[in-house]
């Protein structure tokens, strides 16, 4: 099916790059399937306090003190953080999350980074300020942009995240097997259809310099967001970012890996000045063979 789509798009691009861009855009903006609730997630999912805020389904656990925001990625849902939720609640934190528009139990069409900024701001008004943020995959640039635009977060963990907004288009076109002509047409369609023709979005919505301590965790075998994006992310964010590598977990299983959860929560709960925080080592790059198989 992918080969047929690729052939059809390339043929269309010869006649009308603009039409090819529109068709590719319609494919690009749809998750095609919703992440379903898994058996391992049911208990945590059932324990959540559920509200609808800004048209999306939101979840909260704990007693409301020391809130931690959890932001999921493409074709995912809040319940994927079940390992984080259980650990954080046991330590006295209060995780908060949401199913993105068109994902999980939230209705509607898929939103943009600006929709996520608005939702995260509403959650901060309702539950915050956040002590920390954990984000996965596409949720990483969404969360970091919201923080850059004023949402408070003491520390941030970015798992399997991308740094460059344009990588979304590049990776999608590479997966379809289409070339630069359709890539550029898709970029123009994104600019026109979602952002009123603004061609500056590719830099504006990419990760920028940040003030909160940031831990980047990325697997060497990630075939959805290439490992090089972790290096770009830490370089763009600045001296308060450090990276840890894992092996054998790929793009999605990393989120539920017990050792990854342990390391991320340890980072979030360290006291200022403890080893591993950036006030002691600002440019440290660590390699952990977590979850090696």
For each of the chain's 293 residues, which pLDDT tens digit applies?
555 555 566 556 555 667 767 777 777 676 556 778 899 999 999 999 999 999 999 999 999 999 999 999 988 999 999 999 999 999 999 999 999 998 988 988 888 999 999 999 999 999 989 999 999 999 999 999 999 999 999 999 999 999 999 998 898 888 777 788 889 988 998 999 899 999 999 999 999 999 999 999 999 999 999 999 999 999 999 999 999 999 999 999 999 999 999 999 999 998 665 655 444 333 333 434 444 33
CB 154 within 8 A of CB 124: no
Instruction: Return d(Cα 223, Cα 242) in angstroms, integer.
Output: 21
Contacts of 137 (CB under 8 A, 6+ apart): 72, 73, 74, 76, 159, 160, 161, 162, 224, 225, 251
- The reported pLDDT for the residue numbered 213 is 96
Residues of the chain with CATH 3.40.50.1820: 43-165+208-287
What is the pLDDT at residue 270? 85
In whole angstroms, give the CA distance from residue 135 to residue 141. 9
Residue 69 dihedral angles phi and psi, to the nearest 5°: -85, 135
Rounded Cα gap, residues 251 and 230, in angstroms: 12
Pick the CATH number of 43-165+208-287 from 3.40.50.980, 2.40.50.100, 3.40.50.1820, 3.40.50.300: 3.40.50.1820
pLDDT score for 293: 32
Q: What is the pLDDT of residue 2?
A: 56
- What integer pLDDT is reported at residue 24 of this predicted model? 73
| Predicted pLDDT of residue 10 | 59
Residues whose CB is less than 8 angstroms from the CB of residue 199 and which lie 6 or more positions away in sequence, other chains included: 191
Question: Tokens standing for 98?
Answer: 């949401």
| pLDDT in the model for residue 19 | 75
The DSSP 8-state label assigned to residue 197 in this structure reads T
The predicted pLDDT at position 31 comes to 59
Nearest to 41 by CA among 15, 78, 68: 78
Question: Do the Cβ atoms of 260 and 246 come closer than 8 Å?
Answer: yes
What is the crossing angle of helices 17-28 and 167-176, to 10°? 100
Q: What pLDDT is recorded for position 281?
A: 32
């Amino acid at each position: 099916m992918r080969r047929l789509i690729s052939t059809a798009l390339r043929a269309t691009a010869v006649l009308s790059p603009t039409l090819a861009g529109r068709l590719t855009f319609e494919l690009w903006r749809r998750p095609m399937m919703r992440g379903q609730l898994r058996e391992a997630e049911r208990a945590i999912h059932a324990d959540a306090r559920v509200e609808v805020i800004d048209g999306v389904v939101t979840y909260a656990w704990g007693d409301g003190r020391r809130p931690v925001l959890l932001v999921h990625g493409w074709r995912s849902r809040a319940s994927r953080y079940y390992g984080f939720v259980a650990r954080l609640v046991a330590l006295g934190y209060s995780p908060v999350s949401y199913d993105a528009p068109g994902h999980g139990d939230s209705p509607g069409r898929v939103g943009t980074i600006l929709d996520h900024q608005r939702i995260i701001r509403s959650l901060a008004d309702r539950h915050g300020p956040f002590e920390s943020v954990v984000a996965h995959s596409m949720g990483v640039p969404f969360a970091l942009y919201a923080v850059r635009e004023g949402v408070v977060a003491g520390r941030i963990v970015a798992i399997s995240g991308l740094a460059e907004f344009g990588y979304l288009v590049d990776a999608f076109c590479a997966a379809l097997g289409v070339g630069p002509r359709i890539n550029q047409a898709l970029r123009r369609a994104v600019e026109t259809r979602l952002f009123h023709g603004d061609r500056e979005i590719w830099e504006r919505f990419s990760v920028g310099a940040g003030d909160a301590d940031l831990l980047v965790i990325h697997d060497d075998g990630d075939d959805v967001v290439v490992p090089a994006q972790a290096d770009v992310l830490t370089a763009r964010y600045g001296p308060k970012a450090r990276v840890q590598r894992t092996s054998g977990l790929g793009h999605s299983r990393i989120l539920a890996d017990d050792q990854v959860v342990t390391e991320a929560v340890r980072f979030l709960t360290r006291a200022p000045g403890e080893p591993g925080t950036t006030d002691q080592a600002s440019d440290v790059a660590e390699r952990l063979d977590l979850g090696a198989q």
